[in-house]
């Protein structure tokens, strides 16, 4: 039984860059905590593109909940002129955040 658990843990350790990329592509970026966002790129119907640097704002000491609140208000108020919004995550922080949870899950797998 112990060898099976070790096998599952080694699977996590062996996830390479391309596998993480595949996993992270499947994440709904709208559900990612703002602290794990790198930038938000807002594309307007007139072709204008605005990049909001979330990590820079956090680095300046702005509370992440305030960033999220302001961003949500701005997106809602501009909704009629926004073509789409791209959320870019901080890849390494996401991996760092989800790895312990994945290890716990894999420990429970028979």
Question: For the purposes of burial, counting CB atoms within 10 Å of the CB of 22, is it exposed (0-12), middle (13-18) or buried (19 or more)?
Answer: exposed
pLDDT tens sequence across 21-75: 666 566 655 667 889 899 999 999 999 999 999 999 999 999 999 999 999 999 9
In the chain, pLDDT over 90 holds for what percent of residues? Answer: 45
d(CA 92, CA 14): 16
Domain ranges of the chain: 2-108
CB 106 within 8 A of CB 8: yes
Please give the model's pTM, rounded to 2 decimal places.
0.65
Residue with tokens 């990049």, as numbered in its chain: 51
């Amino acid at each position: 039984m112990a060898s099976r658990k070790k096998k599952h843990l080694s699977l996590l350790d062996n996830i390479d860059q391309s596998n993480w990329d595949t996993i992270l592509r499947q994440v709904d970026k709208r559900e990612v905590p703002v602290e794990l966002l790198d930038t938000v790129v807002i594309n307007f119907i007139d072709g204008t593109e605005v990049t909001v640097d979330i990590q820079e704002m956090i680095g300046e000491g702005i509370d992440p909940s305030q960033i999220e609140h302001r961003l949500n208000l701005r997106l809602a108020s501009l909704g009629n002129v926004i073509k789409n919004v791209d959320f870019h995550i901080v890849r390494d922080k996401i991996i760092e955040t989800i790895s312990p949870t994945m290890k716990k899950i894999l420990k429970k797998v028979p």
